[in-house]
Amino acid sequence: MTNMKLILGAVALLSVAAACSHKTAGTTQATAPASQPVAGPTTGYIPRATVFRMSGPYADKVAVTLDAQGNLTYYPAPGDITEASKPVYLKDGWWLNCQGLSASSVFTDWTFSQYAALPETPTPAQIKAHIIPGATVTAMERTTVPVTQAMQNLDKIKANL
């Protein structure tokens, strides 16, 4: 019986070892020692600040985003809206996007302060009832400035408009 336990233990260990060292034909697999980090090229997405124009004077209005069928795809919770959410005027009708608008965004009749004061997030139906007809983003462009550095680089953004 002891030999049987040894054989079963050895088979289990070999199965685990085989599963951990899978190789595809014609390839080699190198592993780094556990104590050394694996280094290699890194790629990452750095979001760029965006600028937009709108169809009217809606800079103090909360925006939401609709899909092609008119369904809400983005709307903030009241707690997500702060003074920092307001767009920043640049020039010639261009504004720095600080709320996360897209080319499909539309504006509601809620001001930022009114929306932030709501006790809870409105329902999609309530939000749709507050959309201002024809109040849309009319142009949207990505800048070369990382979104985290946009406020410090307003002159650079303006120069490229």
117 in a domain, yes or no?
yes
Residue 60 within any structural domain of the chain: yes
Residue ranges making up the domain that contains 143: 55-156
Q: Which residue has the higher pLDDT, 35 or 129?
A: 129
> How many domains would you assign to the chain?
1
pLDDT digits (tens, 9 = 90+) for 60-88: 999 999 999 999 999 999 999 998 999 99
Look at residue 140 and tell me whether its pLDDT is greater than 50. Answer: yes
Do the domain assignments include residue 3? Answer: no
Please give the sequence-ordered ranges of beta strands (E in DSSP) within the chain, or none if there are none.
48-54, 61-66, 72-74, 88-91, 94-96, 105-111, 131-146
Q: Is 18 inside a domain boundary?
A: no
Q: How many residues does the chain have?
A: 161
